[in-house]
């Protein structure tokens, strides 16, 4: 008989991976064990080990169930047999997720740089394929569940019929339609950094937060827009993808923030003074951000503290406009947050290039310089590829009169 001391030393075995448990249950229930053609251990070895829950969806990593063994097995089975596997995986992960009822399963894939010409076509190697400027997740591999209409020709009605998922990061609610909008989980670090950006930092203008504005030139579903809103700022933002704008609108409402979407032809012709007069905390324009600088120029000077340029692999197409927008700031300082994919060996050089570029913009038409800019900080957000980092360069802009 074991002594109490020996019992205390015993460690509980680690819980079985729910995907492995699901495969085991399904494998034996399907009587596949009776066929020597299929090796259970090999199937488990080549099955995904990780997953992400975006209620009510489970998202598996890219390449899941795509090895030769799995592809052959899934081809040989009936649709009903395959679907039982996906249902079993959802059931097991639901148990691990505190009993949350998870109903949809998909495999994540990278966001393609170009769009396919047709459902059966492939843009790979096709230089004529249009650029995927909306960053649509066209490679999403749906395994189980109704993800809504496959055609988005009439977006005004498909919003209600689409499948929406959600998550919380840093206490902020976000929602999106995975068939039509990307979600970058790795941005959580940068969102948190923005939330604490002014902690311990001396600010020359102690205006109340509601008097401070932020501008987000690539708003998406509200990745960074929501960080500024949580700080109490008002936000002007631009986004081209109508699905992302709808996700931003729903997410803002879910967080209790008032939001105005400017999208129809008539509203886009109204003076911006009128568009922001309603007092909404977030005003999002469904249009190209090339209009942003022109629109903001129509306003009286605002206290613009931040301009976010969050596009990868580079946001440099918006830098001149971001500089002009920051120039409308009635305060003495502002920050531009410039997102870039940069090779690890080139980060310092890129920092210098950025400072040189903005220094060239500083003189006005008469050669006078009233603003200076320097990269105050370079944040390494996450690795984008081997040897390549998603960086954010914080460009600190000050009026000459504030420099001592």
Distance between CA atoms of 287 and 242, rounded to whole angstroms? 9
Give the per-residue pLDDT at 124: 42
Distance between CA atoms of 275 and 94, rounded to whole angstroms? 44
Domain parsing of the chain, residue ranges: 14-107, 187-402
N- to C-terminal Cα distance for the chain? 79
Phi and psi at residue 5, in whole multiples of 5°? Answer: -65, -45
> Which parts of the chain register pLDDT below 70?
1-14, 32-37, 110-139, 151-157, 200-210, 364-368, 401-404
Contacts of residue 50, defined as CB under 8 A and 6 or more positions apart, other chains included, come to: 60, 61
Give the per-residue pLDDT at 122: 44
Give the per-residue pLDDT at 54: 95
Give the per-residue pLDDT at 11: 67
Give the per-residue pLDDT at 301: 74
Length of the chain as a residue count? 404
Distance between CA atoms of 224 and 338, rounded to whole angstroms? 12
Pure H helices in 255-389: 272-275, 292-297, 319-326, 347-361
Give the per-residue pLDDT at 403: 42
CA distances to 127, 196, 239, 311, 356 from 339, rounded to whole Å, are 26, 18, 16, 6, 17
**Angle, CA 140 vertex, CA 137 and CA 144 arms, to 5°:** 140
In this structure, what DSSP letter does residue 45 have?
H
Give the per-residue pLDDT at 402: 45
What stretch of H or E contains 82? Answer: helix 79-96
State both tokens at 65. Answer: 């169930």
Give the per-residue pLDDT at 61: 92
The bridge status of strand 141-144 relative to strand 213-216 is: unpaired
Give the per-residue pLDDT at 371: 87
Q: CB–CB of 222/176 below 8 Å?
A: no
Residue 360's SS3 state is helix
Assigned CATH topology for domain 187-402 = Rossmann fold (3.40.50)
């Amino acid at each position: 008989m074991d002594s109490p001391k020996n019992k205390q030393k015993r460690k509980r075995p680690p819980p079985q991976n729910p995907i492995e448990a699901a495969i085991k249950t399904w494998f034996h229930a399907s009587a596949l064990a009776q066929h020597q053609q299929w090796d259970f251990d090999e199937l488990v070895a080549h099955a995904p080990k990780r997953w992400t829950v975006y209620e009510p969806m489970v998202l598996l990593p890219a390449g899941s169930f795509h090895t030769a063994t799995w592809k052959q097995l899934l081809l040989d089975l009936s649709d009903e047999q395959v679907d039982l596997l996906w249902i079993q995986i959802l059931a097991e992960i639901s148990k691990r997720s505190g009993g949350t009822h998870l109903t949809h399963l998909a495999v994540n894939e990278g966001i393609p740089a170009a769009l396919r010409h047709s459902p059966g076509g492939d843009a790979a190697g096709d230089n004529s394929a249009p650029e995927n400027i909306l960053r649509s997740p066209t490679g999403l591999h749906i395994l189980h569940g109704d993800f809504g209409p496959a055609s988005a020709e009439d977006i005004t009605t498909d919003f209600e019929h689409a499948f929406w998922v959600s998550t919380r990061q840093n206490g902020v609610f976000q929602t999106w339609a995975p068939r039509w909008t990307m979600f970058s989980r790795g941005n959580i670090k940068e969102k948190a950094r923005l939330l604490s950006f002014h902690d311990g930092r001396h600010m020359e203008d102690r205006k109340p937060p509601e008097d401070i504005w932020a501008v987000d030139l690539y708003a998406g579903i509200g990745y960074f827009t929501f960080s500024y809103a949580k700080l109490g700022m008002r936000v002007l933002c631009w986004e081209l993808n109508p699905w992302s704008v709808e996700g931003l609108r729903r997410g803002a409402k879910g967080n209790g923030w008032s939001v105005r979407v400017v999208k129809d032809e008539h509203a886009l012709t109204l003076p911006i003074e009128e568009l922001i007069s309603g007092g909404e905390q977030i005003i999002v324009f469904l249009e190209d951000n090339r209009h942003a600088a022109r629109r903001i120029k129509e306003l009286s000077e605002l206290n613009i503290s931040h301009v976010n340029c969050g596009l990868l692999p580079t946001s440099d197409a918006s830098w001149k406009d971001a500089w002009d927008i920051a120039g409308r700031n009635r305060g003495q300082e502002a920050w531009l947050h410039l997102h870039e994919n940069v090779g690890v060996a080139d980060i310092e050089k890129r920092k210098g290039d950025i400072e040189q570029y903005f220094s060239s913009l500083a003189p006005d038409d008469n050669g006078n310089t009233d603003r200076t800019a320097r990269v105050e900080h370079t944040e390494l957000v996450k690795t984008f590829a081997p040897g390549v980092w998603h960086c954010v360069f914080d460009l600190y802009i000050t009026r000459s009169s504030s420099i001592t």
